[in-house]
């Protein structure tokens, strides 16, 4: 599963990276986590508020740290 975190490096973006990584490890789900910090690359996804989360090329979240339940649903769906 390829997950991209879209954000310029703010505290919420870093927290999102950490949270997704922790949950994936706890669930035993193999992921490839990538941070996208260039503003033009973020805007190419159509995300205007960060952090944004892109899973396998599809934007699934934008603005604020996603909840633990939401992340678990994403990982279970893949």
DSSP result, 20-43? HHHHHHHHT---EEEEE--HHHHH
pLDDT of residue 77: 87
Query: Among 56, 35, 60, which Cα is nearest to 47's?
Result: 60
The first and second tokens of residue 47, run together, are: 């995300």
pLDDT at 29: 94
If one counts the domains in the chain, the total is 1
> Which pTM does this prediction carry?
0.94
Q: What is the CATH classification number for the domain harbouring 44? A: 3.40.30.10
pLDDT at site 75: 94
Backbone angle region of 69, left / alpha / beta, with phi > 0 → left and psi within -120 to 50 → alpha: alpha
Per-residue pLDDT, 54: 98
Local mean pLDDT, 10-residue blocks, the chain (78 residues): 95 96 96 96 95 97 96 91
Domain of residue 14: give its range.
2-77
Residue 60 and residue 1 in contact, taking contact as beta carbons nearer than 8 Å: no
């Amino acid at each position: 599963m390829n997950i991209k975190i879209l954000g310029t490096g703010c505290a919420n973006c870093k927290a999102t990276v950490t949270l997704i990584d922790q949950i994936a490890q706890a669930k035993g789900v193999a992921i490839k986590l990538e941070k996208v910090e260039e503003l033009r690359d973020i805007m190419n996804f159509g995300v205007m508020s960060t952090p944004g989360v892109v899973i396998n090329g599809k934007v699934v979240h934008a603005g604020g740290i996603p909840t633990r339940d939401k992340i678990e649903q994403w990982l279970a769906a893949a």
